[in-house]
Amino acid sequence: MKRRTFLKRARQLTGLGLLAGVYTWQVEPFWLEFVKRKLPIQHLPDQLVGKTLMQISDIHIGNRFDHQFIIDSFQEAAAYDPDIVVYTGDYVSYETEEQIDQLRKVMKYAVKGKLGTVGILGNHDYGKGWQEKGVDSAICSVLAGAGVQVLRNEKKLIGGLNLIGLDDLWGTNFDPAAVLATHDADQANLLLCHNPDVCDMDVWHGYQGWILAGHTHGGQCKPPFLKPLLLPVKNRSYTAGAFDLGDGRQLYINRALGHSFQVRFNVRPEVTVFELMRAI
């Protein structure tokens, strides 16, 4: 190859690399996708068939990116006029008490369901090392003030749908056995669980149905046709999207609305819009 040709191609590759870097840093992290899916649930009552359930996960309010993006996304999501809204954890990227105030400002714009709004906690909602005393309570207080009822190994009936919320696997309050041992298989059930690794644990007491999770962010960066390089789970098959667990349970992992760090490639931020239907 001639020197002139080599230099020309090197400049082209450098230019492409710069464009890819700008895209990964400034474009895709803020290119929200509303993913629309059917959600078939056993024993779903007639009044909920066709209703909308919206999942929002991992907003990660903090100092790592401009949280005006989350406020704008909430306002876009609210236009869908959802019937039920569920938040599946990691409301902050906690560093100091400043994040509690930041979250309070953002949650003034929280998307709420006409029938009900619930949430669960994620690992970041326990502060540094997922063990910092008082952070989880402060976040629960902010969420309650914004109209979001936090389910901490608890269940809540909304319009005939029994929503079961587990506390986070890595936090200090993980105790799924009590609530799962009392679930009624003849009800319409939907379970919220931040970290999908819980799906592989022996805690389910025969639960069958859908599990909505977050935590992975889909890896945030995914080479085309390959799995993400980094995933914060033991079971690396749990990336994003829908999984049939093969025992009557189905799992859906949301790719996250926010991000731990401002970088995404081939894994756009997501709000999931489910249409409820009765499973056949």
157-188: per-residue pLDDT in tens?
999 999 999 999 999 999 999 899 999 999 99
33-61: per-residue pLDDT in tens?
999 999 999 999 999 999 999 999 999 99
Pick from 250, 222, 224, 246: which is nearest to 236 by CA? 222
Tell me the average pLDDT of the chain. 93
Q: In the CATH scheme, what is the code of domain 32-278?
A: 3.60.21
pLDDT band at 7 (very low <50, low <70, confident <90, very high): very low
**Strand 209-213 versus strand 188-192 pairing type:** parallel
200-249: per-residue pLDDT in tens?
999 999 999 999 999 999 999 999 888 898 899 999 999 999 999 999 99
Question: Two tokens at 105?
Answer: 């400002």
DSSP reduced 3-state for 229: coil
Residue 22's pLDDT is what? 85
Rounded CA separation 52/58 (Å): 20
Cβ(65)–Cβ(99) under 8 Å?
no
Q: Where are the beta strands (DSSP E) in 14-51?
A: 33-41
| 64 pLDDT more than 60 | yes
Kindly give, in sequence order, each residue whose CB lies less than 8 Å from that of residue 123, ignoring residues fewer than 6 positions away: 89, 90, 130, 168, 169, 170, 171, 194, 195, 215
Question: Two tokens at 54?
Answer: 């919206």
Cβ(125)–Cβ(171) under 8 Å?
yes
Question: Two tokens at 150?
Answer: 């936090």
pLDDT band at 11 (very low <50, low <70, confident <90, very high): low
- Domain-wise residue ranges, the chain: 1-30, 32-278
Cβ(273)–Cβ(34) under 8 Å?
yes
Which strand (E) or helix (H) includes residue 5? helix 3-22
Burial 19-52 (b: 16+ CB within 10 A, else e): eeeeebeeebbbebeebeeebebbbbeeebeebb
Rounded CA separation 251/191 (Å): 9
Pick from 216, 211, 116: which is nearest to 165 by CA? 211
Listing from the earlier edge strand, what are the strands of the sheet with 161-165?
Answer: 154-158, 161-165, 188-192, 209-213, 249-253, 241-244
Question: Two tokens at 271?
Answer: 């709000």
Segment 105-133 mean pLDDT: 97
